[in-house]
Structure 1
């Protein structure tokens, strides 16, 4: 038996970027072929897409983890790794995406609407892309970045034009079954409807949808009954229809008191619609009153008695019988007209063109703050420094030296000096903590000592004064730039 699921927690993981390749071209009679390591491929994204054939979040209930494929590693002969495949997850129309804190990230309405839930990691540069005039044959490559991992909450809010509101056993499901081709469960006991039912109604040239939600009771907006879970399915409705049971035998109940109780619940419920929604609170929606079960003589008399009081409130009132189909034709035309009036007053806006604002590549984008857990230590925050840490092979001395040069060019060394950092101070960037040595030259192009080595990292072979002087001349005479930031 199929199940209706309208709220799930989804864990998405984008693909990891492939590592760059450190390779040197080797060919007969070409001993100095140069670096030819390719770049790693980008990891795949996780994308949510609205599909007309999906009507529930059931698949994510049983499979709450989704992961895109990783990018492949770069190869020699300047061959870049292939990008990972994007993972496209099909969701029903009306799905709202929230983060674990409840912040709305996307409101997916309309067939084909997409949302990038998690971005794949960028591939690492190969040594061919890292070569420069000073570093002609790098003996290292950059690692690929990890893909984004997120915990998302998906909530389904049915996209319907008319929402039927009423107490349990008021005849909402019966009304949907006679207005449309939908076949909801109908029985003579309360809370027969446990999940929302959608029906498509055609009236003249107008076609609209009707949503039947589980019956509401006083206190539904605070969680009583099933109302709190399914009131969200009324949030997108342009028209709310009160379906009133005029043949109820429950003591203390009558059409006027039923409507007043439901109006209080609708006013107390605050929908979590997206910021660009024009619908507003449920209490502000157009209303229509449907007095049902007129096939019972006492119910017909009661409906005739309360109609003037309801009309004074400015609401259209219709007396019907879902069993004999009495009064359905004028009700259908009235609902179609109300929906049509709403569509004219709220035309669908044309899709907005994305605005791209490039960020300058020479922007520092970092800050250094004292470490609250380590006396005399500092923490470097910033997207670029933290990304560089993740891209570095720490078992390769040349890669570590290249990292030091990048941080120095960014201004991290100068910022530490201004904050009064002492030699040996613990500096944390991302998930790596190292001892800061201000005497170690950084941000300069050094005389190569061998592939995969750096004299500043090896304590036995520290750079000498003559080499420092030569390196300074090289830096003044040659352009030193970060290939990834060009």
Structure 2
């Protein structure tokens, strides 16, 4: 059964915003008291947060589909819809978030670090919020905006100071078990270690973490064995320790050739050339192992490596190794720039930035792209003529119609607002900005006008009667 997962595909969906409400206040002796439709609630976000108690992505391997709750619709009486709850997903320290194309969206390091992976949709405005002096009783409300849906990849890169690398059965697990309090599985067969193990080491006043990376073999950078799956766990380490087996029973292997193979795989993987290297000649408690260590040590030192002879069984050389690693870790930490206080970066928009773009495609279609136009389209109820006219007025005030004219659009040309997979396409009419004219005096609802005198209402009613109805009225004394 899988107990450790360091890469998953996560399908997230933020909550949608609730629809606004179109309502008119009614009470005794005041049947038309004005619009009182409330706004819809905001949809919940999907938030990734670093939790030190989480060490694997196993939960998301079994349940890759996660969705936040949506906002509730508004109601009459100016009642606002409840907002959806944010979905908080805990992830291990060192999790990298990537999009479908492999672009890094976030690198989550440090307890409490958060990233909004999916933005919840805005709630739609009710007709009470849309009312104005010109639009006293709107007969429509805005729809809630759909929540963001996204497929992301989560990759765990172990946050450790020291990485132990080497062939399978080189003794890495044994070393980490005696250097720290970690209790990894130890056996005398290859690929005993199937997951990275972390241990905390204290050397004097320095405390650092050591990662035992599963054994590397030739071709690991190309996917052979387990190396490719876990090479990412050495990317954050400050120093690499080559654990070389000086008591191997395989006749075609020796410590120097093992070192060359591992270095070739690290170079093939890339990005690790600047990390300091230390060599640990392991298993010197075996007589033949000590003889081999004495033989190859001068050659390794000529290459520029710091060499330590160690034994996990007899604890020989472990103190010297741990203190040497502590010194390298201290130097690496001192070289890192100190964390600065949070700064707010303000990037003002350009003076000529209209907030949207108009482009003509090869098929002659004019496409409008921009945050505001696309959001307005998503929040429009196209079954309501008044809402469509309101959208037309907003687009005209933003300058979309003028931009279409400058782009060469003519009456009857196709115009699309939004992306290819979620666009609204219509035949452009240059007069569509006057949508209110086609709908009459939109926003000046006759129900909201002051009552007319009885005599005036009688004269207006008489003017609408046909000749036969007028004759009947003149004949009927009770009419």
Q: TM-score, normalised by structure 2?
A: 0.87
RMSD: 2.2
Judged with a 3 Å threshold, the aligned counterparts in structure 2 of structure 1 residues 377 and 452 are, in CA distance, closer, same or farther, namely farther
Judged with a 3 Å threshold, the aligned counterparts in structure 2 of structure 1 residues 222 and 418 are, in CA distance, closer, same or farther, namely same
Alpha-carbon distance in 1 for matches of 2:442, 2:331: 78
Q: Deviation at 1:372?
A: 3.6
Q: Deviation at 1:364?
A: 2.7
SS in 1 for 2:105: strand
Judged with a 3 Å threshold, the aligned counterparts in structure 2 of structure 1 residues 23 and 359 are, in CA distance, closer, same or farther, namely farther
- Counterpart of 1:306? 296
Deviation digits for residues 348-370 of structure 1, max 9, x if unmatched?
42353232446599953222233
1:446-485 mapped onto 2 (5 Å cutoff): 448=441
Q: Deviation at 1:338?
A: 1.6
1:363-378 mapped onto 2 (5 Å cutoff): 364-373=354-363, 377-378=365-366
1:407 aligns with 2:395: yes
Q: Deviation at 1:252?
A: 3.2
Deviation digits for residues 115-151 of structure 1, max 9, x if unmatched?
1111111111111111111111100000010111111
SS in 2 for 1:42: coil
1:384 aligns with 2:384: no
SS in 1 for 2:59: helix
Q: Deviation at 1:450?
A: 7.9
C-alpha contact 1:398 1:452 (8 A) present in aligned 2 = no
Alpha-carbon distance in 1 for matches of 2:330, 2:196: 23
Q: Deviation at 1:204?
A: 1.9
Q: Deviation at 1:2?
A: 5.6
Alpha-carbon distance in 1 for matches of 2:37, 2:346: 32
Q: Among residues 310, 322, 329, which one is paired with 2:319 in the alignment?
A: 329
C-alpha contact 2:137 2:443 (8 A) present in aligned 1 = no
SS in 1 for 2:116: strand
C-alpha contact 1:201 1:208 (8 A) present in aligned 2 = yes
1:178 aligns with 2:178: yes
C-alpha contact 1:44 1:86 (8 A) present in aligned 2 = yes
- Counterpart of 1:134? 134
C-alpha contact 2:163 2:212 (8 A) present in aligned 1 = yes
Q: Deviation at 1:382?
A: 2.0
What is the number of equivalent residue pairs in this alignment?
A: 441
Q: Deviation at 1:93?
A: 0.5
Alpha-carbon distance in 1 for matches of 2:227, 2:332: 26
Deviation digits for residues 258-286 of structure 1, max 9, x if unmatched?
1122112112212xxxxxxxxxx312111
SS in 1 for 2:11: strand
- Counterpart of 2:237? 237
**Is the deviation greater in 5-14 or in 31-40?**
31-40
Q: Which runs of 5+ in 2 are unaligned?
A: 447-479
Deviation digits for residues 281-309 of structure 1, max 9, x if unmatched?
31211111100111110110111121122
C-alpha contact 2:135 2:444 (8 A) present in aligned 1 = no
- Counterpart of 2:340? 350
Q: Deviation at 1:229?
A: 1.0
Q: TM-score, normalised by structure 1?
A: 0.86
Alpha-carbon distance in 2 for matches of 1:452, 1:204: 81
- Counterpart of 1:36? 36
Q: Deviation at 1:424?
A: 2.8
C-alpha contact 1:142 1:391 (8 A) present in aligned 2 = yes
Alpha-carbon distance in 1 for matches of 2:341, 2:94: 17
Deviation digits for residues 234-271 of structure 1, max 9, x if unmatched?
0011010010000112223222221122112112212x
SS in 1 for 2:29: coil
- Counterpart of 1:395? 383
1:107 aligns with 2:107: yes
